């Protein structure tokens, strides 16, 4: 069974790719986490087209959690989701790294979209020390 997909939206391609690499090392299913970072020409920023493609690629039938880093990544993601509304794609307000780890581990365990969303959101309340 395919896990819930996760899309990492960042202003930085390196940040999104690096976080995806971390999640890969934690054992997520290949292709279940898609990075959408930076602009089409390699600059800092977000790309409407990259986000739309990432959501499409991540959705393997169990839904998608989209985690933005900050600012315009939220605005651009909202525009994509408004234009391509899908009931099984959720924009989640969660810490980027901690939320992604919690979501990915939960998804890898076979949880549904609601549980993966909740795991990402609850990461905000986990103390580091």
The catalytic site residues sit at 11
The angle that helices 96-108 and 113-122 make with each other, rounded to 10 degrees, is 150
Distance CA 102, CA 110 (A): 13
Q: Cβ(65)–Cβ(5) under 8 Å? A: yes
- Sign of the C-alpha dihedral computed for residues 70, 23, 114 and 52 taken in this order: positive
């Amino acid at each position: 069974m395919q896990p819930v997909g996760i899309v990492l939206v960042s202003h930085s391609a390196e940040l999104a790719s690096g976080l995806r690499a971390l999640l890969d090392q934690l054992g997520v299913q290949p292709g279940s986490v898609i990075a959408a970072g930076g602009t089409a020409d390699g600059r800092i920023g977000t790309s409407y087209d990259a986000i739309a493609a990432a959501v499409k690629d991540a959705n393997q039938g169990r839904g998608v959690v989209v985690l933005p880093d900050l600012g315009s990544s939220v605005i651009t993601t909202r525009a994509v989701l408004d234009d391509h509304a899908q009931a099984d794609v959720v924009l989640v307000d969660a810490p980027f790294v901690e939320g992604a780890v919690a979501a990915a581990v939960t998804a890898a365990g076979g949880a549904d979209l609601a549980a993966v969303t909740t795991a990402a959101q609850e990461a905000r309340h986990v103390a580091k020390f």
